[in-house]
Chains A and B, each alone.
Chain A
């Protein structure tokens, strides 16, 4: 069965420091991969997505993610975190050929200290 694992429930980084949020997936082939962000009281906003091609994808707000097939990972990175990045981050996969529903990880809450 498809699944997504985000091993870190809560991460705290200092403003200006680099960030990496981990995501591992289990799927028989290469799925579609997504990162969403949720600020308090807000919906889920798409940061970036991977469908095919270049394994390093750029997203909004300075985020990027790298798809590593050998590790079944799709880790999210940002070189310098801003206080406004504090939010919850969700990794999700979509099965190729399905009706489009997404399977989410449990999320990683990011706190940013000044």
Chain B
């Protein structure tokens, strides 16, 4: 069964460093998302992406964040200068078809630890 994959599963970085979290969405999907979950808190929407541009972003998704689909398969989230409060689990999701509520398929997440 097709699935969303994410790498790495765990990333440890120093505050101020740049990190890139990678996702491979399901191959025929058109809409891509990033969510994050700070330990003990709820899963929060960061950004959605369609047709090579951002569709919607939350207040969390400030200038330190960027997303890119560098090729036909990968979808990346870059944090330019990490802060301690960026430590969280980051989930990628994708969905196909129209932007109606088709199921969003989630990856297993990348745990980011900022020291």
Contacts and interface: CB of A to CB of B under 8 A. Distances in A.
Interface of A: 4, 32, 36, 41-46, 49, 51, 90, 92, 94, 98-107
B101 A100 contact: yes
Interface string B77-115: 000000000000001010100011101111111000000
15 contacts: A4-B42, A43-B106, A43-B108, A44-B91, A49-B103, A90-B43, A92-B43, A99-B50, A100-B48, A101-B33, A101-B45, A103-B45, A104-B42, A105-B42, A107-B42
Contacts, number: 61
Give the interface SS of chain A, mostly helix, strand, loop or mixed: strand
A11 to B, nearest CB: 17
Contacts of A104: 35, 42-44
Interface residues of B, number: 28
Contacts of B41: 106
